[in-house]
Chain A
């Protein structure tokens, strides 16, 4: 129980600070076009009414099945998507409708790390050039300072300094992810959105990158929004965790509380779907989450999970549950506790 209390205090301490990023009832929709004049014929509701605070220094894990809108939340916070409704703050500054020009100075403070770093690295650019480019674009240092900064970045992510003369294809997957991280760090960001940063890597390499991310956080005081479908990685790195289903957050709480005693039936089934860590823990009659998530363009009425929920009752088909305001919040009419 001691760890649990410590974590609660940590989480409380974090919450006494002002959030670094804040979403208020945000909806991010993608139009579906149809007909002779491509008129909008409905929307894919990728993010559908999400309220979320991210506090400085924390790692907020965001989990859910593919298509639940977790990546869209990341892109929305970075203002890479236009919101349909709701408001977004970054450091107490409302950025909901900022133009690209007004966003530019803020871009140095928020960065994105991708799942496939290779696709985001220019294959014809040497690593040194690639890391220096953002420094120049944002006029963060003179040319001598830039060279030193590039060395410093390579040190930070554990790559040899000689790497700067080489091209992306000369590196392995894990090393490329290190390069991706170094590039994100080059502009000295405060918030980094990590979108499935270890999903494509070999198991032995995943641990290296997770450890690196954690070391960097301590050293540089970073805040992470860590998006992943691998629950183990999320549990390892996060302080708090938000569980998403069909564009909405269904449960939000500190890591151990959420993993030990989930309140929302979806979270419980999601956790149970994760493979065991030892053959001894196998369950003969495992309760598996049946079926697949419905179409986000046409979500079910009432609670969105009611179509797959083993505990669903009449009320769940009618009334949409809201995330209650407790420290460990769940959006469920009949939470597990």
Chain B
């Protein structure tokens, strides 16, 4: 069997807080094949960003990897020294962050920061590095790249900054590109441009993209495989088509139905959006049993008592729900498609 590009196995990550250690990602496993786009979708506090930052160990001093393995081409990244990991960062695995406004250093020019990314991992120097930098800016669709090289980040719009960040990320043609909410801070028009850019770059290079987002629209546009996270756990995993066709977990159903869509017609004030009641639980005050049960319309006694396992549900699908695990009660809910929510 071929070794997958990225395999995360039973990863748990915690953070040191004033009230002790809090686990933010619990027993997360996923694999990403070469050239695929895998989306982790979830709301604030779901642990999706933390999971993605663990891959390059960029959690900061308060983050603790409690257990698990992160294998990149078979090598466990968690066993690598800081020095070995530095060679992988930016070269084999690159990352794009959410806020283009704060992701670039304000006191260095775009060109300086881009050239730094180039010279760190290649033999290109001086003029050659500058020319490659200009070429990268052109590839990500920045007009007048020569003059943008000399600009400071604050003079660029959000969309242009995000393009510059992407240029930095693709400088060494990484095999894995992690994009953490890359379009959340942008207008829909610019979002469409950036998503199209990412798709185009992927087609050209076969890069695997791990896309972190809270927006199901972005998932619908981009994902091959979707991982849905809630309160630190994977609650569902499926290929994108199946997930939108027939979401299995009540939370996924709720998310899909809560998304106001442009494609469906709506009347005036006579139709309600289906919403998920309540709020996302704080990670230090998680409910007992299934973490979603206080907000779930199908909640039963067992859901309040013990946490459901992540089980297989059909072809390449996983779901963490007692209703799917217990054969007796799976029927009425699996077909409901969340209508009753």
A–B contact at 8 Å CB threshold (below): yes
Chain A residues within CB distance 8 Å of chain B:
3, 6-7, 10, 65-66, 172, 174-175, 202-208, 210-211, 214, 217-218, 229-233, 235-236, 239, 255-256, 259-260, 269-282, 286, 288-292
Contacts A206-B260, A207-B273, A274-B217 aside, 7 further interface pairs with beta carbons under 8 A come to A204-B258, A205-B275, A207-B258, A255-B266, A275-B188, A289-B192, A292-B160
Minimum CB–CB distance from B156 to chain A (whole Å) comes to 10
> Which residue, of B160, B189, B218, B240, has the highest number of chain A Cβ atoms within 10 A?
B189
B188 touches A229 (CB 8 A): yes
A260 touches B265 (CB 8 A): yes
B237-284 interface (Cβ within 8 A of A): 240-241, 244-245, 254-255, 258-269, 272-277, 279-280
- Residues in A whose Cβ lies below 8 Å from that of B189: 65, 269-270, 273, 288-289
Interface SS, A side: helix
Interface membership of B90, Cβ < 8 A: no
Tell me the complex Cα distance, A28–B160, Å. 28
B280 touches A208 (CB 8 A): no
- Residues in B whose Cβ lies below 8 Å from that of A10: 268
- Residues in B whose Cβ lies below 8 Å from that of A280: 241, 244
A203 touches B43 (CB 8 A): yes
| Nearest CB in chain A to that of B276: its residue | A204
B188 touches A273 (CB 8 A): yes
| Nearest CB in chain B to that of A58: its residue | B268
Tell me the complex Cα distance, A122–B255, Å. 32
Offer 22 A-B interface pairs, CB within 8 angstroms, sorted by A.
A6-B268, A65-B190, A66-B187, A172-B280, A175-B279, A203-B258, A204-B276, A205-B275, A207-B273, A207-B274, A232-B217, A236-B266, A259-B262, A272-B192, A275-B188, A275-B220, A277-B261, A278-B244, A279-B221, A286-B196, A289-B189, A289-B193
- Residues in A whose Cβ lies below 8 Å from that of B43: 202-204
- Residues in B whose Cβ lies below 8 Å from that of A255: 266, 268
Tell me the complex Cα distance, A272–B217, Å. 12
Contact with A along B208-221 (1 / 0, CB 8 A): 00000011111011
| Nearest CB in chain A to that of B45: its residue | A202
- Residues in A whose Cβ lies below 8 Å from that of B216: 203, 277
A202 touches B260 (CB 8 A): no
Also in contact, A276 and B260, with CB within 8 A (given A203-B215, A270-B188): no
Tell me the complex Cα distance, A271–B192, Å. 11
Contact pick for A203, options B160, B191, B255, CB 8 Å: B255
| Nearest CB in chain B to that of A236: its residue | B260
- Residues in A whose Cβ lies below 8 Å from that of B264: 277
A236 touches B273 (CB 8 A): yes
Tell me the complex Cα distance, A256–B268, Å. 10
A273 touches B262 (CB 8 A): no
- Residues in A whose Cβ lies below 8 Å from that of B240: 279
B192 touches A286 (CB 8 A): yes
Tell me the complex Cα distance, A210–B223, Å. 27
Rank and list the top 4 A-B pairs by shortest CB-CB distance, nearest first. Answer: A275-B217, A207-B275, A232-B260, A207-B258
Chain B residues within CB distance 8 Å of chain A:
43-44, 143, 157, 159-160, 187-193, 195-196, 214-218, 220-221, 223, 240-241, 244-245, 254-255, 258-269, 272-277, 279-280, 295
Minimum CB–CB distance from B281 to chain A (whole Å) comes to 10
| Nearest CB in chain A to that of B185: its residue | A66
A-B contact count (CB 8 A): 150
A203 touches B214 (CB 8 A): yes
Minimum CB–CB distance from A91 to chain B (whole Å) comes to 23
Tell me the complex Cα distance, A122–B280, Å. 24
A214 touches B269 (CB 8 A): yes
Tell me the complex Cα distance, A230–B259, Å. 11
- Residues in B whose Cβ lies below 8 Å from that of A292: 157, 159-160, 190
> Which residue, of B159, B191, B221, B245, has the highest number of chain A Cβ atoms within 10 A?
B221
Tell me the complex Cα distance, A273–B187, Å. 9
Minimum CB–CB distance from B153 to chain A (whole Å) comes to 16
B220 touches A3 (CB 8 A): no
A278 touches B275 (CB 8 A): no
- Residues in B whose Cβ lies below 8 Å from that of A204: 43, 254-255, 258, 275-276, 280, 295
Tell me the complex Cα distance, A203–B219, Å. 13
Tell me the complex Cα distance, A277–B279, Å. 24
> Which residue, of B43, B157, B221, B260, has the highest number of chain A Cβ atoms within 10 A?
B260
B244 touches A279 (CB 8 A): yes
| Nearest CB in chain B to that of A202: its residue | B43
Also in contact, A276 and B268, with CB within 8 A (given A288-B192, A288-B193): no
| Nearest CB in chain B to that of A256: its residue | B265
Tell me the complex Cα distance, A93–B263, Å. 40
Tell me the complex Cα distance, A277–B263, Å. 7
- Residues in A whose Cβ lies below 8 Å from that of B221: 275-276, 279, 282
Minimum CB–CB distance from B214 to chain A (whole Å) comes to 6
Tell me the complex Cα distance, A214–B268, Å. 10
- Residues in A whose Cβ lies below 8 Å from that of B217: 232, 274-277
B272 touches A211 (CB 8 A): yes
| Nearest CB in chain A to that of B221: its residue | A275
Tell me the complex Cα distance, A40–B296, Å. 58
Contact pick for B214, options A172, A202, A231, A286, CB 8 Å: A202
| Nearest CB in chain B to that of A240: its residue | B268
Also in contact, A274 and B260, with CB within 8 A (given A172-B279, A204-B43): no
Minimum CB–CB distance from A176 to chain B (whole Å) comes to 11
| Nearest CB in chain A to that of B240: its residue | A279
Also in contact, A205 and B255, with CB within 8 A (given A277-B262, A278-B220): no
- Residues in B whose Cβ lies below 8 Å from that of A279: 220-221, 223, 240-241, 244
B268 touches A239 (CB 8 A): yes
Tell me the complex Cα distance, A198–B279, Å. 15
